[in-house]
Amino acid sequence: MERLEIKAALSVDEAGTITGIAWPFNEGPDQLGDLIAPGAFTIAPDMPMLFAHDPEDLVGIWTEVKETPEGLLVAGQLDVKERRRARAVRSLITSGQIGGLSIGYRTKAFTPRAGKGRVISALDLVEVSVVRNPAHPRARITGAKSASSALAIAEAISRAASALRI
């Protein structure tokens, strides 16, 4: 029987736009001792955004999932207009109560690591979840655009520009 494995940084704005690193490269193994090699990911289109790996708790969609030198970068949209749960998840992220990402995948190829864990060289990415405690401690939400933060910055710039005109 194939096992769906769960692993995963993160930020969100008022509109529900969310970005993060779902799996960091060159940051050591996860809590189980696993490493995922760059180039290992096979990424399906229309990647679901789940809460805590619950397939019944779809909170949005990942619109971008790609490998970068830093790791697996994700960007997506919480469905804050239509789903109460997505609004609750956005609130938990902005309050700092949750900030992790975790990946669900099926391993296709690996080699054992000395001691514990594996080096995974091929996998099928199934989903990326927003979680409280990711398997990889550096899998975090990294950015969240905030309309109120952007407005505050714009107002500060406007005040500074006005002060310079005096």
Using the predicted structure, report yes or no on whether residue 161 has a pLDDT greater than 90. no
Over residues 97-125, mean pLDDT: 94
Over residues 127-144, mean pLDDT: 84
Between 66 and 6, residue with greater pLDDT: 66
| All residues at 6 or more sequence positions from 106 whose CB lies less than 8 Å from its CB, including other chains | 2, 3, 4, 5, 123, 124, 126
Taking all residues of the chain, what is their mean pLDDT, rounded to a whole number? 84
Using the predicted structure, report yes or no on whether residue 104 has a pLDDT greater than 70. yes
Task: State the chain's maximal CA–CA distance in angstroms.
Answer: 73
State residue 144's pLDDT score: 53
State residue 150's pLDDT score: 38
C-alpha distances (whole Å) from 19 to each of 77, 144, 147, 166 are: 9, 6, 15, 40
Over residues 79-84, mean pLDDT: 95
State residue 135's pLDDT score: 86
State residue 163's pLDDT score: 55
Among all chains, which residue has been given the structure tokens 């949209």?
77
With beta carbons less than 8 A apart as the criterion, state whether 10 and 101 touch: yes
pTM of the model: 0.79
Phi, psi of 57 (to 5 degrees): -115, 60
State residue 30's pLDDT score: 93
Q: Which residues pair with 72 in a beta bridge?
A: 23, 67
